Copies of this chain bind each other. A is one copy, B any other.
Amino acid sequence: MSELRQDIATKRWVIVSKERAKRPHQFLKQVVVQEEPDHRDDCPFCEGNEMQTPPELYAFRNGSEPNRPGWKVRVVPNKFAALSPAAKWEIKRPEIFTTINGYGSHEVIIETPQHNLTLATLPQEQVDLVLQAVLQRMRTLAQDHRIAFVQVFRNHGAAAGTSLVHPHSQLIATPIVPTNVREEIEEARRFYDDRVTCVYCYMLEKEMESGERIVLSTEHYVVLAPFASRFPFELMILPRRHSASFALEVKAEEVTSLAEVMRRTLLLLYRAVNNPDYNAVLHTAPLRDSCMDYYHWHIEIVPRLTTPAGFELGSGIYITTAIPEETASYLREQAQQLGI
């Protein structure tokens, strides 16, 4: 029999369709050997092709010149930017059709000069540099009072909406707080009003007590399959220490520790689920609301093994055929077997 489950933090419902439930291994992507070289002359993110991107905003270099070879991580504006700092910040509010000029920033974090790796297979020091670069850019963008929010995300594979193979993350800095962010924070505030505790801290405590949805846990982080997962193999990386803003509150040792847990989590998906296409999304507080008692930054990783359809679009209720407790148990076993 199916079951509707409600996410305590967002109040979002899902349907766990036990009628058509599949066992974890049934979701595994067919292995397609993608032979990519470690360098491509026609890839704008490969070393030596620095002039094919807009000028870099930030980079880790060993004394080399900007926009030249000799770097570890580069941050560049997206060539086809959705938003741009060159736009005027201007809101038009006629009687009905409200618009804002496309002020903001859309940046690409090129994670390595090497074409055929991914975050899961990079050395941990390199993942650490990627996070340092992201943090640096977020802190710089936070100084612009016209920026309300920075959305950091990673699209891996065609089903996750990317066509570029070369490993990269992106960020988009927006002049408004996005609706989803506002709603997530609003729900967290309501919970806090009722119980005087952060809903994510509360969830973490209950999940640790039960243990059945925990996948990995480290000194600073817990990785779990959410009770109301929308997608098969959906995972959440939750910091143990309460803080609302990744950009403004994370500590140096927490960044290093996040690099470790990110790499391990993605490697686990890579190895145990055959390199699925996925989106990873940082959920963090808006830049001007950073000291909140009721919000708690985290990362959501959403493999794209199924296609949301009309029911999901209309209702916002996701039907999933994976049972989160089975997913977690499968991944725990695989982590042990694979030594991850």
Residue of B nearest to A86 (CB): B1
Q: Contacts A8-B98, A279-B313, A281-B313 known; A83 to B13 CB distance under 8 Å?
A: no
Contacting B at CB under 8 A, from A302-319, are 302, 306-317, 319
A146 located at the interface, meaning its Cβ lies under 8 Å from any Cβ of chain B in the complex: no
Chain A interface size, as a band, is: 35 or more
A205 to chain B, nearest CB (A): 9
Interface string of A3-38 (1 = CB under 8 A from B): 111101001110101111000000000000000000
A178 to chain B, nearest CB (A): 3
> Judging by beta carbons under 8 Å apart, are A316 and B180 in contact?
yes
> Judging by beta carbons under 8 Å apart, are A4 and B154 in contact?
no
Give the chain B neighbours of A300 by CB distance below 8 A. 313-314
Give the chain B neighbours of A179 by CB distance below 8 A. 11-13, 315-317
A298 to chain B, nearest CB (A): 11
A280 located at the interface, meaning its Cβ lies under 8 Å from any Cβ of chain B in the complex: yes
C-alpha gap A22/B158 in the complex (Å) = 20
C-alpha gap A8/B308 in the complex (Å) = 25
Residue of B nearest to A319 (CB): B82
> Judging by beta carbons under 8 Å apart, are B6 and A102 in contact?
no
A82 to chain B, nearest CB (A): 5
Give the chain B neighbours of A117 by CB distance below 8 A. none
Task: Identify which of B13, B20, B97, B310 contacts A154 (C-beta below 8 A).
Answer: B310
> Judging by beta carbons under 8 Å apart, are B313 and A4 in contact?
no
A197 to chain B, nearest CB (A): 12
Q: Contacts A178-B317, A179-B12 known; A310 to B160 CB distance under 8 Å?
A: yes
Give the chain B neighbours of A276 by CB distance below 8 A. none
A52 located at the interface, meaning its Cβ lies under 8 Å from any Cβ of chain B in the complex: no
A174 located at the interface, meaning its Cβ lies under 8 Å from any Cβ of chain B in the complex: yes
Give the chain B neighbours of A101 by CB distance below 8 A. 1-4
Contacting B at CB under 8 A, from A169-214, are 170, 172, 174-176, 178-181, 183, 202-203, 206
Interface string of A247-291 (1 = CB under 8 A from B): 000000000000000000000000000000001111100000000
Residue of B nearest to A4 (CB): B100
Contacting B at CB under 8 A, from A219-240, are 227
Residue of B nearest to A203 (CB): B96
A245 located at the interface, meaning its Cβ lies under 8 Å from any Cβ of chain B in the complex: no
> Judging by beta carbons under 8 Å apart, are B317 and A2 in contact?
no
Contacting B at CB under 8 A, from A94-112, are 95-102
A155 located at the interface, meaning its Cβ lies under 8 Å from any Cβ of chain B in the complex: yes
C-alpha gap A160/B161 in the complex (Å) = 15
Residue of B nearest to A102 (CB): B2
Residue of B nearest to A83 (CB): B2
A165 located at the interface, meaning its Cβ lies under 8 Å from any Cβ of chain B in the complex: no
Give the chain B neighbours of A3 by CB distance below 8 A. 99-102
A246 located at the interface, meaning its Cβ lies under 8 Å from any Cβ of chain B in the complex: no
Q: Contacts A15-B102, A311-B151, A314-B151 known; A4 to B175 CB distance under 8 Å?
A: yes
Give the chain B neighbours of A80 by CB distance below 8 A. 17, 19-20
